[in-house]
Structure 1
Amino acid sequence: MRPTATILSRFGADGSLLDVRGAYVPVLPIADYLGIADAESDPANAVLIVVEGDQGQVALLVDTIHDQRQVVVKSLEANYQAIEGVAGATILGDGRVALILDVDALTARGRVNPAFRAEAA
């Protein structure tokens, strides 16, 4: 969704909450988690993807959605090593590798600290 200012609330110094049908959901800036400096940081100018994990709902803040695909996910832990926040990887049709985010790890982290910053990657 592309949120309007009326459904966004500030939380602490850096955090934001999204009003989803009367429930406030923390907004997690994925770029901060991945260490991407030049990404959109204002939820009102970005796309929010509401996901649900073991810890409840969170809204993932991303710049844009390029497309949707069905893919075969390969485990990174079985083929490489465990990486916090990454569930696996897939090879796209053009040969590029795409990482698959671990929604449960991100929701757990967002519930502990909705304004998390990139100290994990």
Structure 2
Amino acid sequence: MLTSNIEADTSAASITTDGLLRQFGSLTALDRVSVALPRGGVVGLLGPNGSGKSTLIRILLGLIPPTSGRATVLGHSTTNPARYAHDVGALIEAPSFVPGLSARKNLLSLARLRGLPSTRVAE
């Protein structure tokens, strides 16, 4: 489980999280993570399997929502990843569906990330 509370100047941050919590049923993957990562900085996420690293990246990419809390990437809320998706890139393990989400919810999150209407999922 990833936990953090790093204080920094958020006005110059490329990524911010505030009280980010993500639960999958009874499992807490992220526990109130609050960070501000500076623009132009290099950051590594280190930890054992299951500690929440990939979950954090998925939230930052807008692939899954947090259970509670807020996150921004390049000044944009992760609730609207289409506003910053063209400026970021990531490869999280092998490309696959997000565990714990139905096939429909996985496709809806991918459609949202690409700025496609949810009606395309039914196609």
Name the TM-score class by shorter chain.
under 0.3
* TM-score normalised by structure 1 residue count: 0.27
Bigger strand share: 1
Which structure's relative contact order is higher, taking Cα pairs within 8 Å and 6+ residues apart?
1
Bigger helix share: 2
